[in-house]
Amino acid sequence: MAIQKSDPDYVTALVRGLSVIRCFDKGFESLTLSEVAARSGLTRGTARRFLLTLEAIGYVSQNDRTFRLSPKVLDLGYAYLASVPLWEQAQPLMKEIVDQIDESCSLAVLNGTDVVYLARVPPRHLHTLPVHVGTRMPAYVNSMGRVLLAELEDADLDEYFRHAELRKLNRYTVTSETVLRRILHDIRKNGYSMLEHELHEGRRSMAVPIRNRDSVAVASINVSALMSRATKKEFVDRFLPLLKNAAFLIGKAI
Amino acid sequence: MAIQKSDPDYVTALVRGLSVIRCFDKGFESLTLSEVAARSGLTRGTARRFLLTLEAIGYVSQNDRTFRLSPKVLDLGYAYLASVPLWEQAQPLMKEIVDQIDESCSLAVLNGTDVVYLARVPPRHLHTLPVHVGTRMPAYVNSMGRVLLAELEDADLDEYFRHAELRKLNRYTVTSETVLRRILHDIRKNGYSMLEHELHEGRRSMAVPIRNRDSVAVASINVSALMSRATKKEFVDRFLPLLKNAAFLIGKAI
């Protein structure tokens, strides 16, 4: 059971400092002190102390009156990637799949109500999505997410639906809890998920679970392609055996 | 001028919290409280407060008596990647190079005495290095690092040599400051660097700078290949024009 904000052990300064790092984002690369304060909800004085501290240890750089993150910040996320042996085992096997089918192959884990991409091998052609390591997507509308949701215990799945925000990304996105539960049930039975249109119109993806030695699904691996480039039959006949084989080998290796 | 540790504005709790995150690394995926305390140099009590706080906000998960990082940590490094427009502009251009030559192409920036990889497109074959986004390498023994060092003002280069730890990675690694300065001078003159054997025996790499609109080298792009797969002549005749063209287009786009 995690501690609460009110717990005397809760280090507010750390939480605030991490929120300052997360202020910087796409479209907000370079921020003034006032902007950081506004985005983090801190006073100017507090935001300033955090920025100066982050600058002192090399995570932020200052130029005139604006601050930006420095590449050292990658060390933090990298500590996670470096600590996950899965990643390195998976990469060559994913590359083999992409070599054979020239469509993108990704690996993700569940984190809260999202999947987080841990590895990705893009195809040679350019019809691909701007997904990279660290990208998050809502689990209910992602082939890998659905595979991992399908594996949850009943209580955990109830918990998921209590917190998930089911939004329509386009007219195809399924957002009904009842329908999603039925889909997850079928995925569990079939051993794979297939997603069409729901995330991006005209795109199809298929995912299978990666199970550890105790048969627990710890991650999921998928292939994603434009529907105009690969038929449903191709996904089932050609891509599925490749995915299952890679998932088996990765699972054995971890 | 950055603040010092002794400055009243220095938020020690933030610095300590980040050091707790960085305790977890390859080979140290799962740590007990005592191990975190030992690796971070904090008392058990302090380390415990930070771990519980990180757990409360989802950056660390606890299982029995061991802690590990959770994928949410990637959000921190990802904030940096998402905030660098360079990255997305470069990826398709790098992919084009790899499609043509089937050798790996990387993009890196200088950070302290290291280069940090921001993007990487692996070749289809498996003779490649385990390098990914966030990987650090000493600048003096990396083709991209040398290009970026060659661009430094005299005072900054002096500063670099005051801090850099020049170590032999194998019998070929150049570690003499005098020789390195001469090499950097030539790189500046030639507009590219070529590294052979020094980082990995039997491997050759070539890098060129990526210049922004003000002609400042903000990053560097390289190709790396086993020497048995690509001759020096091939690097100069075939790879160099591709690198220069990509660097020009990326530089124009940022």
A44, A156: one domain = no
B62, B100: one domain = no
How many angstroms separate the CA atoms of A174 and A141, rounded?
8
Neighboring chain B residues of A16 at a CB cutoff of 8 Å: 14
**How confident is the model at residue A26, as a pLDDT?**
82
List residues bridging with A138 in a β-sheet.
Answer: A114
The residue out of A51, A76, A101 marking a domain boundary is: A76
**Confidence class for position B99, pLDDT limits 50, 70, 90:** confident
The residue out of A76, A97, A128 marking a domain boundary is: A76
The residue out of A59, A76, A93 marking a domain boundary is: A76
Q: Is residue A125 scored above 90 in pLDDT?
A: no
**Confidence class for position A1, pLDDT limits 50, 70, 90:** low
The count of domains in chain B is 2
Q: Is residue B127 scored above 90 in pLDDT?
A: no
Domain annotation covers residue A114: yes
Q: Pick the range with the lowest mean pLDDT from A42-46, A87-91, A92-96, B223-227.
A: A87-91
How many angstroms separate the CA atoms of B111 and B131, rounded?
17
State whether B74 and A68 contact (CB < 8 Å): no
**Confidence class for position B131, pLDDT limits 50, 70, 90:** confident
- CATH code at position A149: 3.30.450.40
Residue A137 CA: distances (Å) to CA of A96, A175, B65, B109:
25, 15, 31, 28
Domain annotation covers residue B177: yes
Distance separating the N- and C-terminal Cα atoms of chain B:
27
B126, B245: one domain = yes
Token pair of B114 as six digits: 């290291």
Residue in chain A closest to B109 (alpha carbons) equals A71
A112, A171: one domain = yes
A132, A38: one domain = no
Q: How many CB pairs under 8 A join A and B?
A: 210
How many angstroms separate the CA atoms of B235 and B195, rounded?
11
What is the pLDDT of chain A when averaged over all its residues?
92
Domain annotation covers residue A7: no
**How confident is the model at residue A144, as a pLDDT?**
98
A101, A39: one domain = no
At A221 the three-state DSSP class reads strand
Domain annotation covers residue A4: no
State whether A26 and B83 contact (CB < 8 Å): yes
**Disruptive mutation site among A49, A83, A97 for chain B (greatest number of B CBs within 10 Å):** A83
Domain annotation covers residue A209: yes
B125, B182: one domain = yes
Nearest residue to A33 (alpha-carbon basis) of A46, A17, A22, A19: A46
Q: Is residue B231 scored above 90 in pLDDT?
A: yes
Minimum-distance CB partner of B79 among A69, A72, A80:
A69
How many angstroms separate the CA atoms of B175 and B141, rounded?
9
What is the pLDDT of chain B when averaged over all its residues?
92
**Confidence class for position B46, pLDDT limits 50, 70, 90:** very high
Domain annotation covers residue A91: yes
At A42 the three-state DSSP class reads coil
Question: Which positions 79-118 of A are in contact with B (Cβ < 8 Å)?
Answer: 79-85, 87-88, 91-92, 95, 99, 109, 111-112, 116, 118
Chain A closest-CA separation from residue B102 CA (Å): 11
**Disruptive mutation site among B7, B11, B29 for chain A (greatest number of A CBs within 10 Å):** B11
B197, B109: one domain = yes
Angle at the Cα of B166 (from B218 to B26), degrees rounded to 5? 80
Q: Is residue A20 scored above 70 in pLDDT?
A: yes
B224, B103: one domain = yes
Q: Is residue A100 scored above 80 in pLDDT?
A: yes
Edge to edge, what strands does the sheet with A217-226 contain? A136-138, A114-121, A104-111, A217-226, A203-211, A193-196
Minimum-distance CB partner of A95 among B88, B122, B130:
B122
Q: Which residues contact B160 (CB under 8 A, 6 or more apart)?
A: B113, B139, B149, B152
Question: Which positions 125-184 of A are in contact with B (Cβ < 8 Å)?
Answer: 126, 130, 132-136
Residue in chain B closest to A7 (alpha carbons) equals B53
Query: Is the ipTM, as predicted for this complex, more than 0.90?
Result: no
B193, B237: one domain = yes
Domain annotation covers residue B165: yes
Give pLDDT tens digits for B78-90. 778 877 777 777 8
At B90 the three-state DSSP class reads helix
**How confident is the model at residue B125, as a pLDDT?**
75
Segments forming the whole domain that contains residue A235 = 84-253
A57, A105: one domain = no
**Confidence class for position A147, pLDDT limits 50, 70, 90:** very high
Q: Is residue A79 scored above 80 in pLDDT?
A: no
Chain A closest-CA separation from residue B103 CA (Å): 13
How many angstroms separate the CA atoms of B192 and B173, rounded?
19
| Contact between residue A104 and residue A129 where contact means Cβ atoms under 8 Å apart | yes
Domain annotation covers residue B138: yes
Q: Is residue B76 scored above 70 in pLDDT?
A: yes
A134, A150: one domain = yes
- CATH code at position A70: 1.10.10.10
**How confident is the model at residue B2, as a pLDDT?**
76
Name the amino acid, one letter, at A43. T
**Confidence class for position B1, pLDDT limits 50, 70, 90:** low
Does B238 touch chain A if contact means CB atoms closer than 8 Å? no
Mean pLDDT of A143-171: 96
